[in-house]
Amino acid sequence: MRPAAPLTGSGVADAVAVCAAVTAPAAHFPDGARHARSVPPTPAPDARLGVRPGWVTGDGAGLAGIGLPASGCGQVLGCDRAGRAVAARLHGPGVRTVGAAVDDGVALTLVERAVATGASVLLFTARPGVWAPLVRAADTPAALWVAGWRYPPQPSLSALRPTDYCLVVLDGVDSGPAAPTVWRLAPAGAPVTGDVTVAADHPGVLTVRAAGSVAAVRPVPTPLV
């Protein structure tokens, strides 16, 4: 991965950042401030590994000892005009509400990547058929589920409650249970508010706003199944 350039603007407050290379200790912004929640440093490689910027080579035993963080500056939303990855924290401490006015494909990708970065997601929707393929692909009800569906008959799921999920997604419904982070999804073009907002203001471009900073992102979808 190439090192990232900083976003235009400052004061992004740990919400939006262009991802730095895995070897970098933190993302940097134009004012020189370091990203408050930096990507944890990887362990020092042993003598069996060769290290150069952006690459680590070695045998299987040596590579197995390297820990790569699943997230740190957030989940990948897409890329900037130079093709560099752009990420935003859309759940977790400091992010209580997210508004996303996007089409179904982008909404599915946002939820998929939230799960991939450690969120446990409970969906409240009047369109369960839209989400069913993603839920089936995840195949982990404790990580992704649709409210109102019956859990599989597994002992580990018998005591699961809505409050056990850290992220509640409201897809076209007015309310749901309290959660550390709540997303409200709306059709592309609709007005949205939140600590972070993601809006499909123009075809093929997402506008991400957080703490007074703005980034334009070209979404890069991933296969859901």
Tokens of 78: 């897409």
| pTM reported for the whole predicted model | 0.70
> Which helix (DSSP H) or strand (DSSP E) does residue 133 occupy?
helix 128-138
Please say whether the beta carbons of 215 and 14 come within 8 A. no
pLDDT tens column, 4-63 = 333 333 323 333 443 332 222 223 223 333 333 333 334 444 555 565 555 666 666 666
pLDDT, tens only, 157-197: 988 899 999 999 999 999 899 999 999 999 999 999 999 99
- CA atoms lying within 13 Å on the CB side of residue 131: 25
Name all domains of the chain by residue range, CATH numbers in brackets. 97-219 (3.40.1010)
Q: At 172, list the tokens.
A: 């076209």
Structure token pair of residue 176? 């749901």
Residues 6+ apart with CB under 8 A from 4: 17, 18, 19, 20, 21, 27, 84, 85
